[in-house]
Amino acid sequence: MPGKRPRRRRTLAPEANRSNALHPGAWWVWALALGTAASRTTNPLLLALLIGVAGYVVAARRTTAPWARSYGAFVKLGIAVLGIRLAFAVFLGSPIPGTHLVVTLPEVPLPHWAQGVRIGGRVTAEGLVFALYDGLKLATLLICVGAANALANPARLLKSLPGALYEAGVAVVVALTFAPNLIADVRRLRAARRLRGRPDRGLRGLLHVGLPVLEGALERSVALAAAMDARGYGRTAEVPAAVRRTTAVLTLGGLLGVCAGTYGLLTAEGGGYGLPVLLAGLAAALGGLWLGGRRSPRTRYRPDAWGVRAWLVAGSGVAVAALMVAAAAYDPVALRPGVVPLVAPTLPLWPAAAILLGLLPAFVAPVPAPIPASIPAPIPKDPS
Residue pLDDT, tens place only, 308-327: 888 999 999 999 999 998 88
76 or 180, which is more confident: 76
The dihedrals phi and psi of 102, each to the nearest 5 degrees, come to -100, -50
Residue 161: CB partners within 8 Å, gap ≥ 6?
169
- List, for residues 156-214, the tens digit of each pLDDT value: 776 666 666 666 666 666 666 666 667 777 777 778 777 777 766 766 666 677 777 77
C-alpha–C-alpha distance, residues 363 and 9, integer Å:
12
Q: Residue 365: what residue type? A: A
CB count in 10 Å sphere of residue 20: 14
Query: What are the residues facing 103 on neighbouring strands?
Result: 123
- Which of 30-44, 213-227, 246-260 has the lowest average pLDDT? 213-227
- List, for residues 242-267, the tens digit of each pLDDT value: 777 787 788 788 888 888 877 776 66
Enumerate the domain spans of the chain.
24-236+304-364, 239-295
The Cα diameter of the chain in Å comes to: 78
pLDDT recorded at residue 377: 45
Average predicted confidence (pLDDT) for the chain: 77
- List, for residues 98-133, the tens digit of each pLDDT value: 788 888 888 777 777 766 677 877 888 888 899 899
Which of 285, 69, 96, 284 has its CA nearest to residue 182?
69
Contact 368, 16 (CB under 8 A): yes
Res. 7 pLDDT band, cuts 50 70 90: low
- Judged by DSSP in three states, 124 sits in strand
Which of 56, 81, 72 has its CA nearest to residue 136?
81
Does the pLDDT of residue 57 top 70, yes or no?
Answer: yes
pLDDT recorded at residue 375: 41
Which of 87, 82, 85 has its CA nearest to residue 139?
82
Residue 279: CB partners within 8 Å, gap ≥ 6?
261
CB count in 10 Å sphere of residue 61: 24
**What is the 3-state composition of the chain as percent helix, strand, coil, each rounded to the nearest 5?**
65, 5, 30
Helices (H) and strands (E) in the chain, counts: 13, 2
